[in-house]
Structure 1
Amino acid sequence: MKLPEVETPSYYKPGAILTLQLAPDDITCLVEVIKPFIPFTISQVLLCKPAESQTEPSHPLIDQLPEAFIVKVYDPRYMDHRLPFKSRPARPWSLDGEQEAATRREERGCPGRDANYDLANWPEEDDDKPGWEEWYFQSAEDQYYHESEAYKRLEPVQGVTIPRCYGYGTLKLPQRAISPHILVIEYISDAETLEKIDPACVPPELAQSLLNGIKEVNQLGVVHTDLNPGNILLTPRDRPTRAVVIDFGHAGLREEEDDETWREVLEENDDPYWMRARLKRSLGEDILGSSGAAPAA
């Protein structure tokens, strides 16, 4: 049975022009959608290119963009959690609910992400439209916060272990009470996920680079926590020479933890263990040799 998918609005379809507001100077950047990557899940991932004409004069943030790149949109309207699933009812987007939720945030003096909002505490009533729009908004903001902060902390490994991040900002959308956050990141072309790559074409040193890379990610104050094979890309797919880790929306971030506490966090999540397990399952037990063996007790 085919599961329902989130609709693709006209402004996320090929040829659509999107207006990005890039931080920190609120620079307007127009981009054209080449294609959306569907189905949408928590965020919306769009392959884009710079629009032929720009409203702003030349600016380094825009000039640095390559011919094609990813715009990742954290728009709560198109989260797949809104779709019915088993006993969960459909919770379609409501403009009135979004507007009311935004008004309440303004009245509280907290128009954006609320760090104290408990995402585990769902609205009690299914027909509480402002309550559900607030829950979806905070979910999207939480995803954006963790991923954007992870990219900032991982700047030393951008372009190596993880994609490059070209910018942060918001997306202007018509008839909305919010402007969803966005990331502009590197497009990893001709890539295949770890679970689908041909094991015979992956050299051991590339697999080892993934294991070393995730350890460096940890050293820089980030734990991924979601190292499923779909979040590990190899390119080019026929004879890969580069491997990257993507999707840091569930990442854990080192805040004020001392060294001992952070070591406990790393041990509890154990990204290297999961990376080894994924590599061995997809590429074979011998792919890492003795360096990938579990530590002695």
Structure 2
Amino acid sequence: MRHLDTGFSLRPVQAGTQLSLVIDDKPTRYHIKKPFLPFTKSAVVLAQPGTAPGDSADHAEDAASLVVVKIFDPRVLDDRIATKEKHHWTLAAEQRAAQDRAREDFQWDDSVLYEDEHDPSDAEGLVLRAAQWEQNFFALTMQCFDTERAAYERLRGLQGNAIPRLLGVGRWDVAPTTRAIQPPALIFEHIHGISLRDVDPGLLDPTLCASLVAAVDSFSTLGVCHADLNEGNILFSPPERPMRAVVIDFGCAMLKDGDVSEEEWNETVQFNADATWIRKILQMN
């Protein structure tokens, strides 16, 4: 699939390259098997622990060790190109945004993005506006990371069954000369499966579909609304004879905070309609 031009080069995450993460303060290397394109809210790759492909002589063991790494890098955010005026990533803007966040009095308010544009001759004003947009993309990306991580924690009892297992939390160990931040990352169990979009409907057992519906129905009782259910983020595994149904991608989820009343949460649940959508898209297949 086509890569979205947001200012992010695919070179660091191409198949065959090495990915360096820091997990629990320990450097960890992965060998990238392939990127899952297009990137929209995060850079997602299929990877194998180790520094070279096929470190094990056992191919089945190699396949079992595969993981999915989601790197929450503001550079890949598709919001950059969602408006008429594109906002491609630059190191200068990222550095300025990071410097601003380091101030003790820093508070981010995205309303500044709707103020009048600076005059083209106002060099400092243009630098400031670029940094403000970068601040916005940083905030959006960190929100996706925090949301997905929190959703998996709340749905811990479903990990390894209706959702993938969350295997680790870390950060991308990028050189400080090339970035002003080290993007956070989540490491997930790899699901060898096929999406609902591509699966043969004849392979789907009604009992399996019923278990998927029941799992999605339970999300809201655990304080989570997926809010982005579609045929692409429901997987069936293994592809040739599905025995497991899995929901992925919780970066756009809605979470029930402590100060949200039951009435307010029920309104959120009804509005996002996970229960309705899962039944609708299963019925379509």
- Measured against the shorter chain, the TM-score band is 0.7 to 0.9
Who is 2:232 aligned against? 230
Percent of residue pairs identical? 36
Assess, with a 3 A threshold, how the Cα gap between structure 1 residues 279 and 259 changes in structure 2: closer, same or farther.
same
Distance in 1 between residues matched to 2:90 and 2:51, nearest whole Å: 34
Shift of 1:186: 1.1
CA-to-aligned-CA distance 1:139-188 (integer Å, 9 cap, x gap) = 11111111111011111100111110001121122310001111000111
CA-to-aligned-CA distance 1:259-293 (integer Å, 9 cap, x gap) = 34433332232211111111111x2xxxxxxxxxx
2:179 is paired with a residue of what secondary structure?
coil
Who is 2:172 aligned against? 171
* 8 Å contact kept, 2:12–2:19: yes
Distance in 2 between residues matched to 1:196 and 1:94, nearest whole Å: 37
Who is 2:275 aligned against? 272
Where does 1:1-297 land on structure 2 (aligned, <5 Å)?
Answer: 5-6=4-5, 8-22=9-23, 25-52=24-51, 67-83=65-81, 88-108=84-104, 117-118=109-110, 122=113, 124=115, 125=117, 127=126, 128-174=129-175, 175-189=178-192, 191-256=193-258, 257-281=260-284, 283=285
Distance in 2 between residues matched to 1:38 and 1:107, nearest whole Å: 36
* 8 Å contact kept, 1:117–1:138: no
Shift of 1:90: 2.7
Q: How many residues align?
A: 260
Distance in 1 between residues matched to 2:17 and 2:172, nearest whole Å: 13
Shift of 1:95: 0.7
Shift of 1:9: 2.8
Distance in 2 between residues matched to 1:123 and 1:182, nearest whole Å: 31
Distance in 2 between residues matched to 1:279 and 1:121, nearest whole Å: 43
Shift of 1:8: 4.2
Structure 2 unaligned residues grouped into runs of 5+: 53-62, 119-125
Q: TM-score, normalised by structure 2?
A: 0.83
Assess, with a 3 A threshold, how the Cα gap between structure 1 residues 132 and 202 changes in structure 2: closer, same or farther.
same
**1:44 is aligned with what amino acid?**
A
Alignment root-mean-square deviation, CA: 2.4
Distance in 1 between residues matched to 2:99 and 2:80, nearest whole Å: 22
